Amino acid sequence: MNSLDIKVLGPGCANCNNLEKLVFDVLAELNADANVSKVTDYKEIVSYGVMSTPALVIDGEVKFSGVVPSKAKMTEIITGELAKRR
């Protein structure tokens, strides 16, 4: 199974850092493999159509922007993406 490609979009604000930590926490709990990267370049962020950060992109698809979701919601999102690969 190939791993998810997850991008955390944001300039490095507290919420962006919180989102990145949340992604790693949920992946660890699920024992899931993913390539996680942080995108801080505004032009690249806007190229995803994102106007408010932080935002989360999984496999090229924007999952949400402008919020840090609850841990339960993040787990649901990542679990759903993993299920698509099985």
* Distance (Å) of CA 3 to CA 9, 41, 51, 62: 19, 24, 27, 17
Q: Report the SS3 class of residue 36.
A: strand
Q: How many CB atoms lie within 10 A of CB 36?
A: 14
Catalytic residue of the set 16, 45, 50, 56: 16
Q: Report the SS3 class of residue 9.
A: strand
Catalytic residue check, 81: no
Catalytic residue of the set 3, 11, 12, 13: 13
Catalytic residue check, 71: no
Residue numbers annotated as active site: 13, 16
